[in-house]
Structure 1
Amino acid sequence: MSTATHRLTTAQALVRFLAAQYTERDGVRHRSVTGVWAILGHGNVAGLGQALVEYAGLLPFHQGRSEQAMVHAAVGYARRLGRLSAQAVTTSIGPGATNLVTGAALATVNRLPVLLLPGDYLAAHPADPLLQQLEHPVGADVSVNDTLRPVSRYFDRLTRPEALLASAPAAMRVLTDPAETGAVTLALPQDVQAQAHDWPAEFFADRVWRVRRPAPDPAELAYAVRAVRSAARPLIVAGGGVRHSGAESALRALADATGIPVASTQSGKGSLRHDHPADMGGIGHTGTAVADELARTADLVIGIGTRYTDFTTASGTLFRRPDVRFLNLNITAFDAHKLAARTLVCDARAGLTALAEGLSGHRVAPVYEAEYRAGRARWEETVVSAFAAGDGSGVPTQTQVLGALDAVVGDEDVVVNAAGSLPGDLHRLWRARSPHQYHVEYGYSCMGYEIPAALGVLQAAPEAPVWALVGDGTYLMNPTEIVTAVQEDLPLRLVLVQNHGYASIGGLSEAVGAGGFGTAFRHRAADGSFTGAPLPVDLAANAASLGMAVLRARTVRELREALAAAREAVRPTCVYVETAPDPAAPGAHAWWDVPVAEVSALPSTTAARACYEREVAARRRHF
């Protein structure tokens, strides 16, 4: 072994180390960490900031405006690239570091890799308290960065330079492991970042982290084949694991061969193209009528890479057949065992391929296939009706906005969304044309994800037209990275829907008997309620002030023209549209559990509670 060493600071060594890390899957190699998002402050400017200057050719630097948004951008980037490449995010100490928590939670919930490098307080404690330091009365080693522990898949605080020798490889192991990945945090005390150490040359050698495709256990596979062959009404639930594994072709081959219908979670939508005969669209509370009815009558539910959130299971009320069984294929055993399922703990593509081989010659009964295809055709009529806009002279509804966008996009376009009322409409109605087109973050459903995540997608796929769909409530949460899009000359396409409030929660508030309280963006009326005129806020002007070209659309016809122009734009462009109420939008075909006040003097709440008790009675636990 060589005894050569390099004398570098901890920060310099970390940059050199990260630049030499690679992932490899199916014989194709990728840079593992391809860039660093940063907002520099006293906690990282002299350490990582200096190292990024010295090694500018190794890790590209991206200047962010909001720490949370930088994480969202990195997550969007990693999702687009199938978790095979990731980005790092560095911040100063104190508020810069704690601003990472929301983004870290989103990454970990969605099983997406991001490396967080927050500055931390001086490890040597030369003076206490430091600027921005949280003084904990019973733990001198506690810092605000400890807020990142519960939302990180791996966490370490480096109080000595040489600790990096063990911690950096451990961080990479988690980042690149498809069963473990999420947010990874290395908290870096600002003095340690700048301290020098003699690093072994081997630490900076190229290292390849092979992304495994574990095959299914033979006994588990044999059971799975028997279970599918004996099922009369099987249903596949495709989750995000299908897309992370790149298993879309394997899923399509299984559906083609067996005729088993496929419904999708938010993360899995697009695993089958929308016009595939077996694609039933979204499932659960925001699902299609045909998918939810199939779920209620399925005797075998085959979950592929899904976490089975409450939206997917309709809070435990969707899978109603008394003898329903579950078969879960997932690379993570934690998720595979949900709903008391029999399991295939393996890679999605490997498992689907093996399952298809074991099912050779098997196909569902023609009557079942005819039933779901007829239901699929009826749902397509619902989509057509929701998107229809007559002669285009009216103020568009939200579903007509989606219809206008549907008519403009091609297979290569990407639609990014996360929160509000749009995810429900998208899950039910959007016609996904490719695996990458539907990019809706609904594991954490984080307002403010859309714009920065779209930038991450643009960095990962600069050739793709990328659309960030946001309502006014979401826009007000996090418009900061518009400035980054302008600075980096990234042709972000922003569709800004003005509906004067939190439309999704407003509807939920009405449903639970709270009358939409506190959800409209309006002036106070004489009685003190927020029921006056809409606020005179011009979000289009705000977007323009941040550097975007802005196209205002007042009618459906103008909207179509604006969207077509935006798609051809070469600079960041916003299409601003104020929408009309949308009473014709398809409603939920499955329940979602939001507990209603058990006692109330309000008749609306009392009625909502009675409805709640009827619905919750249908919940069941599967054993």
Structure 2
Amino acid sequence: MTVRLTTAQALVRFLIAQYSERDGTERRLIPGVWGIFGHGNVAGLGQALLQAARTGTPEHGELPYYLARNEQGMVHAAAAFAKMRDRLQTFACTASTGPGSTNMVTGAALATANRLPVLLLPSDMFATRYPDPVLQQLEDTRGGDVTVNDTLRPVSKFFDRITRPEQLIPAALAAMRVLTDPVETGAVTLCLPQDVQAEAYDWPEDFFRHRVWRVGRPVPEPPALARAARILRGARSPLIVAGGGVVYSGATGQLRAFAEATGIPVADTHAGKGALPWDHPCAVGGLGSTGTTAANTLAAGADVVLGIGTRYSDFTTASHTVFAEPGVTFVNLNVARLDAAKHSAEMLLADARLGIEALHGALEGWQVGDAYRARARTLAADWRRAADECRAPGPGPLPAQTEILGALNEIVDDRDVVINAAGSMPGDLQMLWRARDPKAYHVEYAYSCMGYEVAAGVGTRMADPSREVFVLVGDGSYLMMSQEIVTMVAEGLKVIIVLVQNHGFASIGALSESLGSQRFGTAYRYRSAETGLLDGGVLPVDLAANAASLGADVIRADGVTGFRDAITRARANERTTVVHVEVDLFAPGPPGSGWWDVPVSEVSELDSTREAREKYTAAKAAQRHYL
């Protein structure tokens, strides 16, 4: 039996019928579509979505459509939704031909870097090529089959171009396979030429059947488990690094039981923060370039590192300097061989939950020594006192960013979600934020994409309306992408946006200064007639007024006391609310104990650069391959 539909109509009906399943629970894999219509998709996918909404039946259902204000933003919203749903659900995103579709490239890169599933449906040029070149078409002299959508190839885990209707059948099935693969997932791109979208075909009805994509839990291989357990049993000063895989696997309870049974201290990455409550006796905080002194001190002396669900980014390893023990050995529990093999590790390929449970059984009766356990707890307590000092109100006329974060952390509930991605906040948050819930800390730091935050607030709130969502954004990221405030308002999504105004790029400014570049080009200032540089007076930019113009309620907070009051009022409000607060651009951050490899000019006429190069050379001497 066949049914005659356009390619776009067939794709919509197919997506409606796709489900994921893990641990016996089924859920719609693609519960909706984000989009901005233009030529290329308005009469294809646009018509198909309208038809499904107007004529949907219990048998075929509908695919809800959500209007974004920026194509990059809608991909960020989909990625944030997938992150909150443990990668078991995501959205499709459709954009018009040309610039609309290429606007999704950054969002696709973020999704793939973070291993988050997102389905991209960019419109493409005519497959027939009759009207070539159409509006917004790139004419490439190297070949007629090249379009701007090829920019999505390197940032997609799967890419295909549907030039005939029947090609959709294998392509759509392959796309679902990748979206539901915890190892290979990321951005999945199906390019849809605008004429093919509207072309009819007789589709086999079985293509549209209820289809369940099962997300399994790979079990550890017994010999690999035995080798890992043997290494851990021989450890004197082991350390666990908990990454995002612990959270996505739902293994936080297993991690807690394992840490309590063995006494091994647990450090975390950005994606793993909250996997173990911050005040648990085994918790030592964030690790690496912006890690706590407790975690980094233990890492420096660790003889065995058990990485669970982590990809070991350069921030996690402090650019290969944080693990300083000459004979340090790694045991990596990961579902992805790519990550399990890093640092010449003993690989334990398995689901995090089942792998932790297996290790727990294999190490029954074994614990770290009392002296090491006591040292880890002392270091954690020392750091918490240092963090308290950073979070406390200071003497300056403007509060430091750390004071604002400390005040917010004291006000939020354990299940409230804090979102951030770029600038100085991720570092401050990794060191200072205290999370008890594995979904309460939502910091995108694989791609660290400025502009992610506001759009992510949309996806996060949609994923779990029961949680209060706090978007933390500096003026730099806000000016990159604030448009999705309009989407929040249109969809009735209550999100609290904390807009920290410091009139510049605090993070890059501080980094520039430390590298001898004197904060060049990092402040929002008038161009000075005297110097010719952007170091004049502060620009008269009113971001609070801008947020109000986008439809949000706005509260201007004055100082830490005013900020506390503003957050209380925002929590009581039922609408999207922006809390605007001025902070000191030059206020110091938390005391660092890690290094980040950012090369400094080897030769220079500037004294500041030469001095920074000497420090860089000295720090780089500690860098090593883990072999």
Instruction: Tell me if both proteins adopt one fold, taking TM over 0.5 as the criterion.
Output: yes
What does residue 302 of structure 2 align with? 298
What SS class does the counterpart of residue 523 from structure 2 fall into?
coil
What does residue 523 of structure 2 align with? 520
In structure 2, C-alpha distance between the alignment counterparts of 1:394 and 1:130, rounded to whole Å: 58
What does residue 567 of structure 1 align with? 571
Matched, 1:465 2:468: yes
Alignment of 1:102-501 (within 5 A): 102-389=106-393, 395-501=398-504
Letter in 1 for 2:562: E
Once the two structures are superposed, residues 90-111 of structure 1 have per-residue CA deviations (whole angstroms, 9 ceiling, x without a partner) of: 0001000110100000000000
In structure 2, C-alpha distance between the alignment counterparts of 1:601 and 1:345, rounded to whole Å: 51
Native 8 Å contact 2:503 2:585 kept in 1:
no
- Aligned-pair distance for 1:581? 4.4
What does residue 47 of structure 1 align with? 44
What does residue 505 of structure 2 align with? 502
Native 8 Å contact 2:402 2:589 kept in 1:
yes
- Aligned-pair distance for 1:127? 2.0
What SS class does the counterpart of residue 44 from structure 2 fall into?
helix
The alignment-based identity, stated in percent, is 58
In structure 1, C-alpha distance between the alignment counterparts of 2:588 and 2:200, rounded to whole Å: 65
Once the two structures are superposed, residues 458-487 of structure 1 have per-residue CA deviations (whole angstroms, 9 ceiling, x without a partner) of: 101011100110000000000010000011
In structure 2, C-alpha distance between the alignment counterparts of 1:573 and 1:146, rounded to whole Å: 39
What does residue 65 of structure 1 align with? 69
In structure 2, C-alpha distance between the alignment counterparts of 1:587 and 1:92, rounded to whole Å: 47
In structure 1, C-alpha distance between the alignment counterparts of 2:396 and 2:573, rounded to whole Å: 25
In structure 1, C-alpha distance between the alignment counterparts of 2:588 and 2:100, rounded to whole Å: 44
Provide TM-score, normalisation by structure 2.
0.98
Once the two structures are superposed, residues 191-243 of structure 1 have per-residue CA deviations (whole angstroms, 9 ceiling, x without a partner) of: 00000011111111100111010000111000011111110000001111111
- Aligned-pair distance for 1:584? 4.4
In structure 2, C-alpha distance between the alignment counterparts of 1:19 and 1:55, rounded to whole Å: 10
Native 8 Å contact 1:398 1:582 kept in 2:
no
In structure 1, C-alpha distance between the alignment counterparts of 2:122 and 2:17, rounded to whole Å: 21
What does residue 539 of structure 2 align with? 535
Any unmatched runs of 5+ in structure 1?
none
In structure 2, C-alpha distance between the alignment counterparts of 1:8 and 1:341, rounded to whole Å: 52
In structure 1, C-alpha distance between the alignment counterparts of 2:375 and 2:612, rounded to whole Å: 34
Native 8 Å contact 1:467 1:494 kept in 2:
yes
- Aligned-pair distance for 1:524? 2.0
What SS class does the counterpart of residue 439 from structure 1 fall into?
strand
Letter in 2 for 1:477: M
Provide TM-score, normalisation by structure 1.
0.98
Native 8 Å contact 1:393 1:556 kept in 2:
no
Native 8 Å contact 2:302 2:328 kept in 1:
yes
Alignment of 1:20-35 (within 5 A): 20-35=17-32
In structure 1, C-alpha distance between the alignment counterparts of 2:463 and 2:192, rounded to whole Å: 28
Once the two structures are superposed, residues 506-529 of structure 1 have per-residue CA deviations (whole angstroms, 9 ceiling, x without a partner) of: 001001100000000011222112
Letter in 1 for 2:500: V
- Aligned-pair distance for 1:587? 2.9
Matched, 1:101 2:105: yes
In structure 2, C-alpha distance between the alignment counterparts of 1:547 and 1:581, rounded to whole Å: 28
In structure 2, C-alpha distance between the alignment counterparts of 1:314 and 1:384, rounded to whole Å: 24
Native 8 Å contact 2:126 2:132 kept in 1:
no
- Aligned-pair distance for 1:269? 0.8
- Aligned-pair distance for 1:582? 5.6
Once the two structures are superposed, residues 409-457 of structure 1 have per-residue CA deviations (whole angstroms, 9 ceiling, x without a partner) of: 0011000000000000000000012000000000000000000111101
Once the two structures are superposed, residues 321-343 of structure 1 have per-residue CA deviations (whole angstroms, 9 ceiling, x without a partner) of: 01100010110001110111110
What SS class does the counterpart of residue 373 from structure 1 fall into?
helix
CA RMSD of aligned residues (A): 1.0
What does residue 7 of structure 1 align with? 4
In structure 1, C-alpha distance between the alignment counterparts of 2:450 and 2:218, rounded to whole Å: 35
Letter in 2 for 1:33: I
Native 8 Å contact 1:393 1:555 kept in 2:
no
Give 1:38's match in structure 2, choosing from 32, 35, 41.
Answer: 35
- Aligned-pair distance for 1:586? 1.3
Native 8 Å contact 2:401 2:587 kept in 1:
no
- Aligned-pair distance for 1:555? 1.6
Cα distance change of structure 1 residues 561 and 393 upon mapping to structure 2, 3 Å threshold: farther
In structure 1, C-alpha distance between the alignment counterparts of 2:471 and 2:436, rounded to whole Å: 17
- Aligned-pair distance for 1:387? 1.4
What SS class does the counterpart of residue 89 from structure 1 fall into?
strand
Matched, 1:622 2:601: no
What SS class does the counterpart of residue 315 from structure 2 fall into?
helix
Native 8 Å contact 1:399 1:582 kept in 2:
no
Instruction: Kindly tell me the number of residue pairs found equivalent between the two proteins.
Output: 619
